[in-house]
Structure 1
Amino acid sequence: MKSIKELVLSLFVLISFTACEENETKETTQEFKVDFEKFTLDNGLQVILHVDRSDPVAAVALTAHVGSAREKEGRTGFAHLFEHLLFLESENLGKGGLDQMSARIGGSGANGSTSRDRTNYFQTVPKDALEKMIWAEADKLGFFINTVTEPVLAKEKQVVKNEKRQRVDNQPYGHNFAVINSNLYPEGHPYSWEVIGSLEDLQNATLDDVKEFFNRWYVPNNVTLTIAGDIDVEQTKAWVKKYFDEIPKGEDIPNLEKQPVTLKSTKRLFYEDNFARAPRLTMAWPGVPQYHEDSYALSVLTEYLANGKKAPLNKVLIDDEKLSDNVSFYQYNSELAGQLMLTVTAFDQTNLNTVASSIENGLKDFEQNGITEKDLNRIKAKQETDFYQGLSSVLGKGFQLAQYEIFAGDPGFINQDVKNILAVTPDDVMRVYNTYIKDKNFVATSFVPQGQKNLILDNSILADIEEEKIVEGAEETFDPSVAATYEKTPSSFDRSIEPPYGESPELNIPKVWKKQLDSGIKVYGIENNEVPLVQFEIQISGGLLLENKDKVGVSNLLAELMTKGTKTKTPEELENAIESIGASINAYASEDNITISGTTLSKHFDKTMDLVTEILLEPRWDESEFELLKQSTISGIQRSKANPNSIASNEFSKLLYGENNILAYNNRGTEKSVKHIELIDLKDYYKNNLSAQLTNFHVVGDITEKNVVQALDQLNEQWQSVDVNIPELPLPLYPEKSTVYFYDVPGAKQSVIRFGYPALKATDNDYYPATVMNYRLGGGGFASQLTQELREGKGYTYGIRSRFSGSQHLGEFSISSGIRTNVTFEASNLIKQILENYGRNYSEEDLEVTKGYTIKSTARAFETLGAKLNMLSNISNYGLADDYAKQREAVVKNLTIEDVKALIENYIKPNQMIYLIVGDAETQLDQLVELGFGKPVLLNPNHENLD
């Protein structure tokens, strides 16, 4: 590992953020750089441009310096509400707004996010659509608010409330953050309420409230526009000025003062969680705002204390005391204040007082020993790799530039930020521990399963959480068909005319190289030197397919154990060897393979592959690690039994494949099967099933074919192949008739649905055409009928999708969503009607929109390293040609409406479908008879957790 001084120098050689007006003073180099140009319009709009010609795409991000911290008590959730509203309509885009345009122009899907301090809206588009995006973003900022009417607001309130139910109310530990924040921050502090707001505040929001909020904060002088990608700078400037210049400046917006907090005493709170199946202890200390000088050492501290085999908290809680398999410690820093969050999800029936005592022992260990220079450098190496990963897409670069502009006052703050990261010393880490954690007051929450109050931290008081009641007809109604009437905002030119496309970009298909090694390993690679990173994956066919139904979970445990040491390295030594070069190596199992994947700096690829070779060829078979993994897996299975989404996934597989098919099982196994697995089972699987002849190696990044092959020499020479027979499982047939199945989760705030049936394998000739056919049904986001009718038309859900998914061994069609509980029947019936009518209603317009999106979106199909890795996987696993993207383009261009209708007839079967619902049986079960498929089958009549 390099010294700190050397690491600083190497980073500054590789990284250079400079403003374009300084270009004449820069030396011409070949090093990695992210140049930018920044300018400000007269109305205060900050504009940042970055050129990246690696792919024919452009990323546009509009970031408003407003989040939940700018809201008023009693009117919370407004910033997040606008994240939703701004996609729906604007004066010149019309109804459907940015979402509909995204489908036409081949965009990545217009999206947004909200934090405590900012809201952003972003999309990556083919470069020929850049002017369209600038026009649309300007319309959003200056020509939008008049389109928000009472029906629009009423509908979007329901969507946001559904999101809260899905992400908070219907999730294990979902209310934990709200309890922490309302007790860590004093009443009235802008971080004392949640970003998503409260259901009551959202319901009480008036149209006047909403318009007042928009007019105050969504103004050019509070917004940063970032455009990154394959752009003409001068032309882009001209477009920005044309579309944004005449939007009037808003009132001056003063900077908010920092508002750090102190706790006068420690607070302990508890809650019996309806969805939890294991006790969880969270401890939160006041921290520091973003970019505070101490935030850098605190980042190292939290990483060192909890992450990895050497971490003091990991050693005590996981390895020694075996109280948990899940310890996390991190900073949650925002503009005005920050917090330190330590969370331990304990094993079943573990008393949280024991956990708290062990945390204290782990912290004492750190107090006595501190952090070594070697461990500090190991953590910094990881931060270096993470930095590059954040810049591996044009959107990532745009986000980072906007982040520094808004919260540090200068996109070029990266220079100081990196310097601050690398300047941290061991003394700094101990100093911030003593300043912010040692003997300091904190907030502690004990979230435990229902009826297990005996496990909570001593002296805890009941947390104040208001659970929503399930009431039929409780939501206000609205008519989504009512068109907004308003006087259009005047403009100096006709903004209703959508700008034309630019010159169409050529599909840039990465060049693939291939090599079969003597051992049988098949290597597929793409060289890409945009960032000094390499991503790779080793796929070994088999996985769950080679397991015995009585001991399901062997391949999963084997994959997990492979990274827990080698013959010559303890688990801690292996972990340190990986992290010291800034690499990551992970292993996991799936239905049809075991995969070892990783990311590394290109300069360390050889060392990384040496470690991968050791992991593969010299397993440690550590008995204690194996027992810990078994306990961890069983705990995870137990916890998943209370998660409605996990329940739906597991039960759907059982119904889809039947108990005699290995694919009916979750590859983690069941509590019973995992308990019966011994270490010898893993050794037998390893000996008999891991074969070089069944292995595909995919690699993308800043490395040549020659260097990859050389790095694989040892693995190629030493890995002995064995003959393995992958069973060819018969695919189940469509059900003869539809049946409704119900899994009861009393009090569920949403009904989780999984509707579907067995379908095409990924290798079937109709597989890709079927996915194209599905675009307007449920695969196209806001361009799909399911989203338009259930979310936009009725407000029943936050999101819904349909999809064909498959591999060379299996395939299925599924519809998935979380539906507001009190409309479970209505939503299910509407889905059924949409499916029944899809073929007869499919139109030329549907086909035109589908073709437009599918063909244009290929321009951004291979932009990131991850996308290129997925391309190699498609080529190797499914026998696709290197230019399969061009071939698919031809398939789409030649599709006729008759072709699509034939695909619908063959592969959309609403009356031969499994209808699975996980929800509150007491209030919803009986109504489902009206679907017309007979009496629903209750899967857990005695409320037992099915294994």
Structure 2
Amino acid sequence: MKMSPLPLLLAACFASTALTPAHAAVKPAQAAPKAQLKVDYQKFTLPNGLEVIFHIDRSDPVVAVNLTAHVGSAREKAGRTGFAHLFEHLLFLESENLGKGGLDKMTARIGGSGANGSTSQDRTNYLQTVPKDALEKMIWAEADKLGWFINTVTDPVLAKEKQVVKNEKRQGVDNAPYGHTRYVINKALYPADHPYNWQVIGSLDDLQNATLDDVKEFFRLWYVPNNVTLVLAGDFDPIQARKWVEKYFSEIKRGQPIKAIAKRPGVVKQTVKLAHEDNFAKLPELTMAWPTVEDLHPDSYALEVLAEYLSQTKRAPFYKVLVEDSKVAPSVQIGNQTSEIAGQFMLRVRAFENKRLDDVAGEVDKAFAKFEKEGISERDLNRIKAGLETRFYNSVSSVLGKSALLAEYNYLNGNPGYVADSIKKTLAVTPADVKRVYDTYIKGKPFVATSFVPKGKLELALSGSNKADVVEEKVVQGAEAAVDPTANAAYAKTPSSFDRSKEPPYGLSPAVKVPQVWDTKLANGMRVLGIENKEVPLVQFDIAIDGGLLLDKADKVGVANLMARMMTQGTAKKTPQELEEAIQQLGASINVSARTEDVRITVNTLARNFQATLDLVEEILLQPRWDEKEFALIKQSVLSQIRQQDAEPNAIASRNFAKLVYGKDDPRSRNILGTTESVNAITIDDLKAFYQANVSPSVARMHVVGALPKASAAASLAGLGRDWKAKPVALPAVATAASAPAPAKVYFVDVPDAKQSVLQVGYRALAVTDPDYYPATVTNYILGGGGFASRLTQQLREGKGYTYGINSNFGGSKSAGPFVIASGVRSNVTLESTQLVKQILQDYPKTYSDADLETTKNFLIKSNARAFETAGAKLAMLDNISKYGWRADYVKERERIVQSMTLPQIQALSQKYLDPSKMVWLVVGDAKTQLPRMKELGFDEPVLIER
């Protein structure tokens, strides 16, 4: 239930853009109207201190409910870390009136988007989007978290959830390349008594040592109304909603007064160099960090601009020096990361294989010297500011995004609408400000530098580095005691003035509106589908050109990917830098990527700049540059990606699973990046040949969503229809089964000392166009497609604590795709986890109940209220229509399928498509401890395969 700690949403608004005219002509951006870059809101405070914020948005019949507690890891004590994050988990498990798993079960019934949460150093939030008729239910449930929860936490519950959190740490830190970097940096950047010295997830020892009394004390101190913000954003009646908030929250007692936490920057008195041999790294990585300022500090805005200017474009000093000139790395990442009481300016360079990090550090010095000499021009500063409007609208294009923005600013300074002030402060940054903050915080100042290098290659680390103190967990078979999560806690119920055990009723059912689709064809035959959406003044569109990896030759796999990446590296009329700046001048983004079955151009722009952006897309599409210098850089970058994949357990699993389920002769079994050998063999002529043969409107489809009517879009597209000439392209035949499917056995890939085992279980099943595909997807909802309501999650995570997450799904297209169950599990329960998965699959047909079917129907039908809220969801809908020839209201047909499903039908589909004896059982983990045990799964001798 934990997402990565969410940065302040406005920070996403400050990603790189440019406002510099290209040398070649491009239609200028239309002058911006006086945009209101703000989010309207109402705010009131209950007598117990709960701060409540309402934002009304009638565009979809949904409401986002966001409960944000102003407590993160910064409020913990040394030796008792990880508590805030632990509560992010615990508050979903049970409360006095919802019962065990009550929130997850209710979410499934009401069609919610999936209750979720995240924890940062400064706050913990709990959020989801629900159909508007379920708003009272959600307010009731959120109040129960705050006032009627803590009695339900028992020693067994705590013991099991500790295991879930440990699994999360193993998955995101211990079993991930460079996963310990942040831990090492923060230990050196902040004194031992500083609240940012430890990680949000805490230490495994602290978690293990936490007692029930410790946990309850922490909750009663911080999870109180006077330390919480409740945000409702969406389509609701504010008068009625206020009555519900007052009814359910008012009698929760105010807690002790909460003191503001003092601002306290990190301290680095002299440069600290630390090195670590990383079990999962194949490439050396240098990270450097300087202490800076906290969120909303006047200097934070100029530091944000500085970070963007140094690394984010082809004009950037670090790109010029490290990527183009010295070629020590494929890219450089720089960011100013701010939190409530402190910030840090961070630079990361993942160098090419076997590069000495001393050499990389020397190039870093040269790049800083280049900036010191040249500074930042007004022109460069303006291009960085240009896309602020676009990024703001993207950040508020969903009610959930708006709720997060309002909550963040409210806890930071009590003003939910401060986003407008932050934008003004960014727009007011001058070149002198950028130079001043560089001189104040970076130039000549001591820093923390970490060298994370592959095992056995410590010589690549920075000279003078000390060994980093990284705590590596020892995985011991049978170390964790079994727990009984079904045991009910005995406690006196918390009193209330009314009966809270009765779930509130639904409101009036919202009318689900399927977006109206317009449809046209260009002169070259390309079909264009669109949806007019005026919620924000943006247009998002894509062009899908069928083919992609499917059209790569067997000995030149990787051509489609390289060609796609080259498409945005200049045009016949513009250098790579000129093209980049022309795009950024419009506050737009244009990306081209290759996928398994297509090459896709994806675009995001202001509606008023649609024509100018489209002109650039046409130039990219029809006048590629084929720049030899850029080709060499991209090729080297891809080779580095492939090398790193060789050590990343999830990537290893995905690559090998594809080979097993598709068979070696199917293009879908191949890595879209290619192999080291195939990429080294590719020339720029191969890219040109692929482009000439396969990029054609005859196999292309376009989808447009945004503040643009059909007539305007059609008029703008006339040039593309005229200039992009059609030619025949031969696509591979649709495949219905694996050419040589692997037999149902255990397949094992060895990653020595892995702290987790990555599991992928499945087989090649169905095409999307198969009549059984959607019914099978419905059947899978209770198995593993229903998030926390699913059986796999309930038993492996909630019941046993074996995993942080597990899911199952059917995938496919016009060709048959795989059914897959995927998870990362604690190493010492690899066998037990697969045995439990096997048992769940075997029992599924006979244990699936009428109640399961009712839950499935409720979710799949009610969730349609939010099915098309975002532009991305609308684009996906259009893609389905154009790719599969479906009707524009295909969602209604799916509703009819769901409504008509019966228990015997589900049971028959389960027996047919969820048979564990048909499946390959792939494990990526530590062979010396886990491989011998896997024979007990019952599929004969496990097969050890190469990475």
**TM-score after normalising by structure 2:** 0.96
8 Å contact 1:800–1:815 — kept in the other structure? yes
Query: 2:761 is matched by which residue type in structure 1?
Result: F
Q: Give the C-alpha shift of residue 260 in structure 1.
A: 1.2
Matches of 1:886 and 1:731, distance apart in 2: 27
Q: CA deviation digits over 1:207-234, x for unaligned, max 9?
A: 0000000000000000000001000010
Q: Give the C-alpha shift of residue 885 in structure 1.
A: 1.0
Q: Give the C-alpha shift of residue 16 in structure 1.
A: 6.0
Q: Give the C-alpha shift of residue 477 in structure 1.
A: 2.0
Cα separation, partners in 2 of 1:184 and 1:12, compared to 1, 3 Å: farther
Q: CA deviation digits over 1:166-210, x for unaligned, max 9?
A: 000000000000000000011110000000000000000000000
Matched, 1:361 2:382: no
Matched, 1:269 2:274: yes
Please, which of 773, 779, 789 is the counterpart of residue 783 of structure 1? 789
8 Å contact 2:48–2:254 — kept in the other structure? yes
Q: Which secondary structure does the structure 2 equivalent of 1:35 belong to? A: coil
Alignment of 1:367-766 (within 5 A): 367-733=372-738, 737-766=743-772
Please, which of 69, 83, 86 is the counterpart of residue 64 of structure 1? 69
Matches of 1:491 and 1:196, distance apart in 2: 34
Q: CA deviation digits over 1:789-816, x for unaligned, max 9?
A: 0000100000000100111234110000
Query: 2:383 is matched by which residue type in structure 1?
Result: R
* Alignment partner, residue 913 of structure 1: 919
Matches of 2:719 and 2:741, distance apart in 1: 50
Q: CA deviation digits over 1:897-926, x for unaligned, max 9?
A: 111112112211200111000000000011
Please, which of 139, 143, 166 is the counterpart of residue 138 of structure 1? 143
Matches of 1:120 and 1:12, distance apart in 2: 35
Matched, 1:844 2:844: no
Cα separation, partners in 2 of 1:239 and 1:11, compared to 1, 3 Å: farther
* Alignment partner, residue 87 of structure 1: 92
8 Å contact 2:766–2:815 — kept in the other structure? no
8 Å contact 1:131–1:239 — kept in the other structure? yes
Q: Give the C-alpha shift of residue 315 in structure 1.
A: 0.9
Q: Which secondary structure does the structure 2 equivalent of 1:419 belong to? A: helix
Relative contact order (C-alpha < 8 Å, sep 6+): which is higher?
2
Query: 1:69 is matched by which residue type in structure 2?
Result: A
Please, which of 833, 844, 847 is the counterpart of residue 827 of structure 1? 833
Query: 1:268 is matched by which residue type in structure 2?
Result: K
Matches of 1:628 and 1:378, distance apart in 2: 25
Matches of 2:819 and 2:19, distance apart in 1: 51
Alignment coverage as a number of residue pairs: 921
8 Å contact 1:656–1:732 — kept in the other structure? no
Q: Give the C-alpha shift of residue 93 in structure 1.
A: 0.4
Matches of 2:122 and 2:603, distance apart in 1: 33
Cα separation, partners in 2 of 1:900 and 1:537, compared to 1, 3 Å: same
* Alignment partner, residue 121 of structure 2: 116
Cα separation, partners in 2 of 1:10 and 1:492, compared to 1, 3 Å: farther
Matches of 2:379 and 2:614, distance apart in 1: 22
Cα separation, partners in 2 of 1:185 and 1:627, compared to 1, 3 Å: same
Q: Give the C-alpha shift of residue 137 in structure 1.
A: 0.2
Matched, 1:49 2:54: yes
Matches of 1:255 and 1:11, distance apart in 2: 40
Alignment of 1:161-200 (within 5 A): 161-200=166-205
Q: Give the C-alpha shift of residue 11 in structure 1.
A: 7.8
8 Å contact 1:754–1:916 — kept in the other structure? yes
Matches of 2:928 and 2:911, distance apart in 1: 36
Query: 1:739 is matched by which residue type in structure 2?
Result: K
8 Å contact 1:798–1:818 — kept in the other structure? yes
Matched, 1:865 2:871: yes
Alignment of 1:298-377 (within 5 A): 298-377=303-382
Q: CA deviation digits over 1:564-591, x for unaligned, max 9?
A: 0000111111111111111011110011
* Alignment partner, residue 297 of structure 1: 302
Structure 1: any 5+ residue segments left out of the alignment? 18-33, 941-945
8 Å contact 2:37–2:392 — kept in the other structure? no
Matched, 1:35 2:44: no
Please, which of 35, 39, 43 is the counterpart of residue 14 of structure 1? 35
Q: Give the C-alpha shift of residue 12 in structure 1.
A: 8.8
* Alignment partner, residue 4 of structure 2: none
8 Å contact 1:775–1:850 — kept in the other structure? yes
Q: Give the C-alpha shift of residue 855 in structure 1.
A: 0.6
Query: 1:899 is matched by which residue type in structure 2?
Result: Q
8 Å contact 1:16–1:35 — kept in the other structure? no
Matches of 2:365 and 2:717, distance apart in 1: 45
Matches of 2:152 and 2:179, distance apart in 1: 34
8 Å contact 1:735–1:912 — kept in the other structure? no
Matches of 2:425 and 2:175, distance apart in 1: 41
Q: Give the C-alpha shift of residue 716 in structure 1.
A: 1.2
Query: 1:809 is matched by which residue type in structure 2?
Result: S
Q: Give the C-alpha shift of residue 627 in structure 1.
A: 1.1
8 Å contact 1:746–1:919 — kept in the other structure? yes
Q: Give the C-alpha shift of residue 737 in structure 1.
A: 5.0
Matches of 1:731 and 1:855, distance apart in 2: 30
Q: Give the C-alpha shift of residue 653 in structure 1.
A: 0.7
Please, which of 125, 142, 149 is the counterpart of residue 130 of structure 2? 125
Matches of 1:323 and 1:568, distance apart in 2: 29
Matches of 2:878 and 2:145, distance apart in 1: 38
Q: Which secondary structure does the structure 1 equivalent of 2:540 belong to? A: strand
Matches of 1:737 and 1:441, distance apart in 2: 58
Q: Give the C-alpha shift of residue 704 in structure 1.
A: 1.5
Matches of 2:235 and 2:759, distance apart in 1: 41
Matches of 1:409 and 1:647, distance apart in 2: 46
Alignment of 1:244-263 (within 5 A): 244-263=249-268
Query: 2:335 is matched by which residue type in structure 1?
Result: Y
Matches of 2:243 and 2:767, distance apart in 1: 49
Q: Which secondary structure does the structure 1 equivalent of 2:924 belong to? A: strand
8 Å contact 1:736–1:912 — kept in the other structure? no
Q: Give the C-alpha shift of residue 384 in structure 1.
A: 2.2
8 Å contact 1:91–1:488 — kept in the other structure? yes
8 Å contact 2:68–2:229 — kept in the other structure? yes
Query: 1:768 is matched by which residue type in structure 2?
Result: Y
Matches of 1:753 and 1:429, distance apart in 2: 48
Q: Give the C-alpha shift of residue 70 in structure 1.
A: 0.1
Q: Give the C-alpha shift of residue 694 in structure 1.
A: 0.9
Query: 1:15 is matched by which residue type in structure 2?
Result: Q
CA RMSD between the two structures: 1.4
Q: CA deviation digits over 1:527-546, x for unaligned, max 9?
A: 11111111111100010111
Q: Give the C-alpha shift of residue 508 in structure 1.
A: 1.4
Matches of 2:462 and 2:291, distance apart in 1: 20
Q: Give the C-alpha shift of residue 2 in structure 1.
A: 8.3
Q: CA deviation digits over 1:252-309, x for unaligned, max 9?
A: 0011110112311000000000000000000000011001101111111100101111
Query: 1:833 is matched by which residue type in structure 2?
Result: Q
Q: Greater shift after overlay, 94-103 or 195-204?
A: 94-103
Structure 2: any 5+ residue segments left out of the alignment? 1-17, 21-27
8 Å contact 2:663–2:741 — kept in the other structure? no
Matches of 1:593 and 1:352, distance apart in 2: 38
Query: 2:295 is matched by which residue type in structure 1?
Result: Q
Q: Give the C-alpha shift of residue 729 in structure 1.
A: 4.6
Matches of 2:734 and 2:655, distance apart in 1: 19
Q: Give the C-alpha shift of residue 735 in structure 1.
A: 5.3
**TM-score after normalising by structure 1:** 0.96
Residue identity over aligned pairs, in percent, reads: 59
Q: Give the C-alpha shift of residue 415 in structure 1.
A: 2.5
Q: CA deviation digits over 1:298-328, x for unaligned, max 9?
A: 1111001011111100111111111111310
Please, which of 801, 804, 824 is the counterpart of residue 798 of structure 1? 804
